Amino acid sequence: MRVPFVPTDGCCAVCGRPCEGFAGTGGRAVCEECSGRSSAPHFDCAASAVRYEGTIREIIQGYKFNAHLWMRDDFADWLEAAVRTRFAVARVDVVLPMPVSLFHRLDRGYSQCSYIAKELARRIGRIYRPGVVVRCGHPRRQAGLDELSRRENVKGTFAVRRPELVRGRTVLVVDDVMTTGSTLSECARTLKEAGAWRVWCATIARSVRDG
């Protein structure tokens, strides 16, 4: 199987989406969405390992929804490579998994992001802190919503339980798939309101959809 890795070059310096971009601050290539004040995400930088397409999409959905947990090590390999390429890992203070709702945790019996985040933290030698940021409320599923609806749908859906663990620190949030980045952006906004200095995001896959 050919793994469609996200290229290390030609990606937006903020959201990590492959794009032509333009020279922004410091000569970085930034996509049109991330350059706009109203559309720019709240996280500082994001990276994804592979493109969410074809067989990879099926494999990730199997892991996420059907407990195909034997893929954990492969996902961790891909994600570690992306994180080490994109970020200065020594500057990461704490690694957090993207929290799942209580309903999904009970329905699936596990948190798919926690497995990957914990293993990634171990590999890069950083602190892993589950449960620092939690879901609250019950928004609709993001699938099928346009970008604006996605942003509105996730507003106020996160809370930070222990702000002292993120205050003044660089936080790396680990998620499975990034589409528009709305969920990660809202999570980053909540973390920054709790005092986080920088929020970086890493996902196994990046949707190939535009926007």
12: Cβ–Cβ under 8 A, 6 or more apart, which residues?
18, 19, 21, 29, 30, 31, 34
Per-residue pLDDT of the chain (211 residues; tens, 9 = 90+): 789 999 877 788 899 887 765 545 455 688 888 887 677 899 999 999 999 999 999 999 999 888 898 999 999 999 999 999 999 999 999 999 999 766 565 566 678 899 999 999 999 999 999 999 998 865 555 555 555 555 556 677 899 999 999 999 999 999 999 988 889 999 999 999 999 999 999 999 998 654 3
Q: Walk me through the domains of the chain, giving residue ranges and CATH numbers.
A: 22-207 (3.40.50.2020)
Among 57, 59, 46, CA closest to 13:
46
- Written as one letter, the residue type at 119 is E
The CA-based angle 139-144-146, given to 5 degrees, is 85
